[in-house]
Structure 1
Amino acid sequence: MGWRGTVRSINATMNKIERESRKRERELEKRRQNYEKMQELERAAFEVEEFDNYIERIKSIHKECSAYIDWNEIVNAEIPLKPIFDKKEIIALEKELDNYKGTFFQKLFNSVEKNKLKLKEKIASLEKEEELKYQKSLKDYDLLLIEIENNRKDAKKILEEDETTIINIIKEFSPFDEIDNLGTKISFSFIDKKLHIVVNVLSNKIIPLEVKTLLKSGKISIKKMTKSNYNELYQDYVCSAVLRIAREVFSLIPINEIVITAKDEMLDSKTGYKNLEIILSAFIIRNTIESLNLNNIDPSDSMQNFIHNMNFKKTTGFSSVKQVVIN
């Protein structure tokens, strides 16, 4: 298995170690299959639980991350030993044939030579089988050597911060699946030798307009979310997504600085149309984000740790800002 397969395997294992909101989400998905069979009060409790979990999920995207890749380790990977022809079983059978004398009854019924012939045929058959295995292992070995060499070339380019290779590796691994599933679009480019990531957060598909709560009677209450609560949730989601993107990039690529710019559709009061505008732009440094206790931070407050542009008010939400410029 090459490093790509290894990393995917590691990430598959890590994905099993999910934060509580994602574990709960999967449990709720299973329970939803029986939704039609639920009684009214049970349905109400289920819907509120599902809603609360969704809110927690979109505010805590930053709490998970894929496996770290050590590119130096890939460059310095040892070449595996070349396969050898395994003759242990063949030698054992040949020894058995050389020492074969036959039992009293085999000699009595003249079956010694017949049994020796069977042993010879078994040895010949095993030699063919082992030869085929050996030839296949040689082909696999040659392919593995090619893969190791290609991996080393990629790793060296990554360590040299080759821009094309970095973008290709990010696209190949696509570590932003959860964010993508929430309706976010991400693009990458290099500007003045710095990796710039633009994320279109598509908040209208993510942030709910209503709040579900459970009344004392056990029935569900559905009310319009207040503007301030909507805006605060919106801000936490955007900042959490930006942190998650930064963590994924730093785990995948050995660079120490990135610029992440979040955009969303905003109404232009002059034209009456919505335009895609920058609502947050942050210069994220590896050492800084790695120093944070990401399980306990408020994602919106955490932006104070980075150079960033964000104009946000609880009452009005985000206002358009300029992209961060780092000299």
Structure 2
Amino acid sequence: MLIALDKHSPHFGNFTFLMASWQTAQRMVEQAARRQEREAVKARREIERQRKALIKLTEQEQARLEVQAYENDLDVLLSIHKECRDPIDWMGLFCILPPAPPSKLARHELEAIFKKPAALGSSDQAAAGAEADFASLETAQKNYLDEHAQWHYWHTLAQSILQQNVGAYSQAINDFAPFAEIAQLGSAMRFVIHTPTFVECTLTVNGLNIIPSEIKSLNASAKLSTRKMPQGRFHEIYQDYVCGSALRVAREIFALLPVEHVLVTTVVNDTDPASGNMAEIPVLSVRFDQPTFNTLQFDHLDPSDSISLFEARGDATASRRSGAFTRIQPFTPEDFSLGSISARSGLLLLVARAQEQRELIKTASSKIRISEPNVSPA
């Protein structure tokens, strides 16, 4: 199995499982499930540690730390699109071999036999060694059963995904939890898998509560200066966070599943002009296609500007002028043609079925007895 190792790559590399030992592959699966921390998130943890020691700091040190925390909060919000989990090579995961069952070894018994001569009671030592060998075998057998169960789970899941089972898609999303960081930032996400190549996501962004309402900086005397954030700057950050979150959702789905299109509709909590009450208002709906998406340089792009590369509804830059998002009518799956299955997806399915047949033939062949013919001497 293959899991990313180059943290500077936008996709963190590929997974390679072929012919690897299950123990190695298991460690790689566990690494894939863990989220790669962004530098901004790591910095936040360090700042929180320093905050606990504020009482020991001077006034200038406290001011510096407050400004650092403010800048870090913005960095976390505005870099939401820059990181993604490692891409999953489901074919590689499917092809990995199962763990080998343990063999009974006589290591402790043989050590006892060769360690002492018979006159000194090596038979008793050998019996104790045999018991130790049996206990080791029981432990190895238990570990084998656990590892085999894990291998079987991932093997079956990979096979189902390669066979384009949409239920397996949902299971993979639940297992890998690709939207955990977005949820930590105060957003909620719902998804619907319409076809093996088309996934729809609805993202509720809670930006009003997590975007700072004040600007913090140091004045000429290195003291803390706080002022209200201008409305234009607030909504500029808000729109980049909205667009960056939509990019992050699509990026996670493309990395996890063999899909070709991801429809993301972003909803914000804002004042409804009709009622004057707070309501969830759809403001951006984008259909991301994989070929165009793969050309993006996430470390350098502007989230709001990049939306123009895709089929979209909603003026992502409207907030800079009016200070508010405009309600839109989101896309629906019916707005796109979902009937075709790409040649790439069909090839994956074909190869998966070939692998399945290979395993069946291998199992059947092991049951056939091959005997040498009787040949009479001349």
Q: How does 1:263-274 map to 2 (within 5 A)?
A: 263-274=267-278
Percent same amino acid at aligned positions?
A: 27
Tell whether the 8 Å contact from 1:260 to 1:281 is kept in structure 2 after alignment. yes
Match of residue 48, structure 1, among 22, 43, 67: 67
Deviation per CA, 1:186-234: give whole Å up to 9, x if none: 1111236621111111112211211112211222221111111111100
Match of residue 326, structure 1, among 332, 336, 348: 336
TM-score (norm 2): 0.75
Residues 214 and 120 of structure 1: CA distance in aligned 2, closer, same or farther (over 3 Å): same
Structure 1 outlier segments of 4+, above 6 Å: 2-5
Tell whether the 8 Å contact from 2:109 to 2:125 is kept in structure 1 after alignment. no
Unpaired stretches in structure 1, ≥5 consecutive residues: 101-111
Tell whether the 8 Å contact from 1:3 to 1:151 is kept in structure 2 after alignment. no
- Match of residue 44 from structure 2: 25
Q: How does 1:195-274 map to 2 (within 5 A)?
A: 195-274=199-278
3-state DSSP class of the match of 2:325? strand
Residues 22 and 304 of structure 1: CA distance in aligned 2, closer, same or farther (over 3 Å): same
User: Would you say 1:170 and 2:173 are equivalent positions?
Assistant: yes
2:43 counterpart letter in structure 1: R
The CA distance in 1 between the partners of 2:287 and 2:329, in whole Å, is 13
- Match of residue 90 from structure 1: 109
Following TM superposition, by how much is the alpha carbon of 1:58 offset from its aligned partner in structure 2, in angstroms?
A: 0.4
- Match of residue 12 from structure 2: none
Tell whether the 8 Å contact from 1:231 to 1:315 is kept in structure 2 after alignment. no
Aligned length: 308
Tell whether the 8 Å contact from 2:108 to 2:130 is kept in structure 1 after alignment. no
Following TM superposition, by how much is the alpha carbon of 1:92 offset from its aligned partner in structure 2, in angstroms?
A: 4.3
Following TM superposition, by how much is the alpha carbon of 1:147 offset from its aligned partner in structure 2, in angstroms?
A: 3.1
3-state DSSP class of the match of 2:282? strand
Residues 4 and 323 of structure 1: CA distance in aligned 2, closer, same or farther (over 3 Å): farther
Residues 196 and 139 of structure 1: CA distance in aligned 2, closer, same or farther (over 3 Å): same
Higher relative contact order (CA 8 A, sep 6+): 1
The CA distance in 2 between the partners of 1:59 and 1:144, in whole Å, is 41
Following TM superposition, by how much is the alpha carbon of 1:172 offset from its aligned partner in structure 2, in angstroms?
A: 2.3
- Match of residue 152 from structure 1: 155
Larger radius of gyration: 1
Q: How does 1:90-169 map to 2 (within 5 A)?
A: 90-96=109-115, 100=117, 113=119, 115=120, 117=121, 119-169=122-172
TM-score (norm 1): 0.86
3-state DSSP class of the match of 1:85? coil
User: Would you say 1:300 and 2:304 are equivalent positions?
Assistant: yes
Following TM superposition, by how much is the alpha carbon of 1:10 offset from its aligned partner in structure 2, in angstroms?
A: 4.0
RMSD across aligned C-alpha pairs, in angstroms?
2.2
Tell whether the 8 Å contact from 2:288 to 2:310 is kept in structure 1 after alignment. yes
- Match of residue 106 from structure 1: none
Following TM superposition, by how much is the alpha carbon of 1:129 offset from its aligned partner in structure 2, in angstroms?
A: 1.5
Unpaired stretches in structure 2, ≥5 consecutive residues: 1-22, 338-378
Following TM superposition, by how much is the alpha carbon of 1:11 offset from its aligned partner in structure 2, in angstroms?
A: 4.8
1:269 counterpart letter in structure 2: P
Following TM superposition, by how much is the alpha carbon of 1:25 offset from its aligned partner in structure 2, in angstroms?
A: 1.6
3-state DSSP class of the match of 2:303? coil
